[in-house]
Structure 1
């Protein structure tokens, strides 16, 4: 039974005649709970009785918990709800840089949508990051509701207010040019980088594999085969790169968010849509055959010197001069001569090449079911359930990608890459000891003419 007791105020160490009422009630664990500051005995008793009613109904939340600081529960949530390493690094980065400086000491119960919305509009970052910050706050507050630290999440499902920006209608035109690159530019950059690094660039542009997925590709998953029924008694086949994992580079942290240093770790793909087989155009499968014949390491897009995963910073030291150009360097003691490189595709990135690939898919009219699959994206709507890629769709896509390559090669006046990989005449037979089987001339000819049906008894 709830009760109330009189509490006299103390001033300068002496009890005064002024008083308030403190509510007393029984907590679920059998201990006494209390709440001070009521002006009358009746109000204190009513408040205590309300707490006991909620306890009986199973809806009670300890006032001490919902008055806890947001930062306290945020750290508890991050420690008890781990995600993939890269995701955790991004979350901690947003917490440390934007969220906690504002909300670290705010009581959970004091958070309102009006304050959060006003705050996010003032953040010194791009709009996508603002959205991520608000989304993370909402996720944490939902966790507080689930943990019975908060009665409701006040920002769940709310739409952010966007800042009013007056931008000329033509301002986005220049930005679009920097998001995609011509096939000629991709090939020229790849030629500068050499066979191993250049193949990574070409593969990204012609398949859409992302950076981490490429680093995580192992020999066993390179040049697998897709086989689908086609026609009455035939099958359609093509070579694929099987994406089942990726390498993530991020700032490792302990359960309290303390930085422990940058790490590279192998992780599962981001979601079920990113686990996929990437169909290879004929020219690209031939380049991959040649690459695997030479490559001594298990991770097939790793560093040429020791087979380790690339760090982004080290890769950019290779890509930037190849794409942006570099000045000539004269020979001097201890330093070799280096020719000048003119700019080819200033600002090229691996992410930009992934954008380029998806843009090429749209350019050649790849059907949505196949375009979403190859990009590793979740297709929205009911069509994701009802529409699936067919061999005809796949063949049309490969024909289009092959045509983009050969047209670019013709525009450049090239018939080979890196002065060592012929794209015109296949060898009579190539024995690849690093592969589980011998690659015969039939495989090379199939790659040269494109993937078609093979008649076999059903």
Structure 2
């Protein structure tokens, strides 16, 4: 049996009955289309029969050829699959995200529930066009968000990226042939996370002002680890002789509860520890079990970011005379990167220290801090050429 064929329904009872009803409706002024005489029939990759009717034979023949070609190339998709609602496809996509962290999962859920499903949930996935997505982005920019405030550029970009991932899932599951989430102009979050770079003296003043948390500030400012990673460092992960801190876990705040889990992007790494305060960290860790936290709250237990900001960090920023710079515990990563670059560290070292996925990401963020080394390259090439010229002019000697 052919994989795709055309069936003439001219003598089918159901077709004749449908035609009689159509003709009666037409006499009464109805303008609906006549029932399709030509039916294209085929079996999908799942082995189930499919069918689609057309009023004219050339239309049916064109569809037959198109379906045959898609079946042959493996690009076939069931026309009915595109009728699935966005909320169904979105839940499928979310359920399939098996490797994301708790914070990312929470963010995805929040974006789905507040900005994607309310707007697109009842739409058929195949009905969304490029211009529909463009209109939605304009709405996100001009209308208040869930909290009643204008959404920032970074939040809008996140909404778009989650929607794009849902549509990509629809492409992979062959519900649509192409995603409408491409080549859209997105707002630029230029000023939302402006980098702050402290000097050695400024960082030292801030650390001193933090009192008993001086070593934590120095660790954040010189090692470049994230707050969630620093608060999860255990005594057994500190190696003073090697001057390393092993980063393997972080704390995530999930609905007010701190949960310990793998570090961001699951990239375990060792970060360099300056000798100038490595011994002090060793003293801090002395007497603690390997699984005990290195930095703890005054009453014991893990540090909470909000409490640390309000009780320790923000007062220390004021005492150190650094108000107005927008410095936060997280932005001390930028200070660590800038000081390391100024010290001559190459991009791969910076990447490892910060836990970036690849060096390209590090360069995208900090390329402006790397000095212009073109003159160094030219000087090195000159040195090599002068050596070669000197050797060429040297007199030959007997072996």
> TM-score, structure 1 length as denominator?
0.61
- Runs of 5+ in structure 1 lacking a partner? 227-238, 251-260, 326-340, 384-458
Runs of 5+ unmatched residues, structure 2: 10-14, 142-150, 364-399
In structure 1, the residue matched to 2:125 is 108
The one of the two structures with greater contact order (alpha-carbon pairs below 8 A, sep at least 6) is 1
- Counterpart in 2 of 1:139? 165
1:352-405 deviation line (CA, Å, top 9, x unaligned):
111111122233333333223222232139x9xxxxxxxxxxxxxxxxxxxxxx
How many angstroms does 1:31 deviate by? 4.7
Indicate the residue corresponding to 1:395 in structure 2.
none
Contact 1:219 1:299 in 2 (8 A): yes
Question: For the aligned residues, what is the CA RMSD?
Answer: 3.7
Correspondence 1:160 to 2:160 = no
Q: Does 1:301 align with 2:295?
A: yes
- Equivalences for residues 245-324 of structure 1 within 5 A: 245-250=249-254, 261-271=255-265, 274-293=267-286, 298-307=292-301, 309-323=302-316
Give the Å deviation of 1:162: 4.7
2:224 corresponds in structure 1 to: 208
CA distance in 1 between counterparts of 2:172 and 2:314 reads: 51
Say whether 1:66 aligns with 2:82.
Answer: yes
Q: Counterpart of 1:91?
A: 108
CA distance in 1: counterparts of 2:20 and 2:134, whole angstroms: 40
Please say if 1:221 is aligned against 2:215: no
Q: Is the 8 A contact 1:223 1:288 kept in 2?
A: no
2:360 match: secondary structure: coil
Q: Does the CA-based 8 Å contact 2:156-2:187 persist in structure 1?
A: no
SS at match of 2:344: coil
Equivalence map 1:323-402=2 (5 Å):
323=316, 325=318, 344-346=322-324, 347-377=326-356, 378-380=358-360
- 1-structure distance, mates of 2:307, 2:21: 67
Deviations 1:170-197 (A, max 9, x none): xx7xx96x723344444444334432x3
Partners of 2:20 and 2:103 lie apart in 1 by 54
SS at match of 2:312: helix
Look up the SS of the partner of 2:165 in the other structure: helix
Matches of 2:264 and 2:60, distance apart in 1: 53
Instruction: Name the structure 1 match of 2:94.
Output: 78
Structure with greater strand percent: 1
Counterpart position of 2:244: 240
Which secondary structure does the structure 2 equivalent of 1:265 belong to?
Answer: strand
Which structure dedicates a bigger proportion of its chain to helix? 2
Counterparts of 1:409-448 in structure 2, within 5 Å, are: none
Whether the aligned pair in 2 keeps the contact of 1:216 and 1:266 (CA below 8 Å) is yes
Partner Cα separation in structure 2 for residue 365 and residue 353 of structure 1? 19
Question: Structure 1 residues 372 and 41 mapped into 2: Cα distance closer, same or farther (>3 Å)?
Answer: closer
- Counterpart contact for 2:240–2:282, Cα < 8 Å: no
Q: Distance in 2 between matches of 1:9 and 1:88?
A: 56
Q: 1:10 to 1:89 in 2, by over 3 A?
A: farther
Residue-pair matches, total: 330
Deviation at 1:240, TM superposition (A): 0.9
Aligned to 2:379: none
Distance 1:180 1:66 in 2: 50
**Residues 238 and 282 in structure 2, CA contact (< 8 A), matched pair in contact too:** no
> Tell me, what secondary structure is at the counterpart of 1:33?
strand
1:148 to 152, 157, 174: 174
